[in-house]
Amino acid sequence: STVLVLNGPNLGRLGSREPDVYGSADLDELRALLSASAPAGVTVDLRQTDDEAELIHWLYEAVDAGTPVILNPAAFTHYSYALRDAAALVTKAGVPLIEVHLSNPHARETFRHTSVVSAVATGVIAGLGFDSYRLALNYLTSPR
């Protein structure tokens, strides 16, 4: 089985972007960490885009294939109703979607306190750096 790990805008710069907030490790290191912590037989398909349409199309892919999703919507979190509606398609189809954040948006600027995605996510994990993703992967790959 596969878990999709989708990352939104500016996360391609992870490692050099505001390392005080997001850490100094990049997406390749995140991919390696998640692949190493995935149980046998689980493939981690980690992607990043700055393009809202591409992210939405990846969520359709998850709906059609029934693939669980770990989603860091980055700044889209705070204002993209289009992304929220696509995330709702996933969870309404019975496919789990965990919203994750590296930082704790609630401890930051006021505009980050609102997530338009959270209400349609299966769950939310924030503020734990790469562990936000690792714990989401652990949930999605544990028997329930």
Binding site for ligand DQA (CB under 6 A): 10, 72, 74-75, 77, 101-103, 105, 112
**Distance between CA atoms of 43 and 113, rounded to whole angstroms?**
32
- Asked whether residue 108 is marked as a ligand-binding residue, the answer is no
Q: Which is nearer to ligand DQA, 49 or 72 (CB)?
A: 72
| Overall size of the chain counted in residues | 144
Residue 101 designated active-site: yes
CB of 126 to ligand DQA, least distance (A): 7
Tokens at 31, concatenated: 């991919």
**Distance between CA atoms of 112 and 75, rounded to whole angstroms?**
8
Q: What is the DSSP string of 38-103?
A: SPTTPEEEEEE-S-HHHHHHHHHHHHHHT--EEEE-GGGGGT-HHHHHHHHHHHHTT--EEEEESS
- Asked whether residue 78 is marked as a ligand-binding residue, the answer is yes
Active-site entry in 101, 113, 133, 139: 101
Residue 22 designated active-site: yes
Q: Which is nearer to ligand DQA, 118 or 122 (CB)?
A: 118
CB of 66 to ligand DQA, least distance (A): 25
- Asked whether residue 103 is marked as a ligand-binding residue, the answer is yes
**Distance between CA atoms of 27 and 56, rounded to whole angstroms?**
20
CB of 14 to ligand DQA, least distance (A): 9
Question: Around Cβ 81, how many Cβ atoms within 10 Å?
Answer: 10
Q: Which is nearer to ligand DQA, 1 or 108 (CB)?
A: 108
Binding residues for substrate: 72, 78, 85, 102-103, 112
Which positions are catalytic? 22, 101
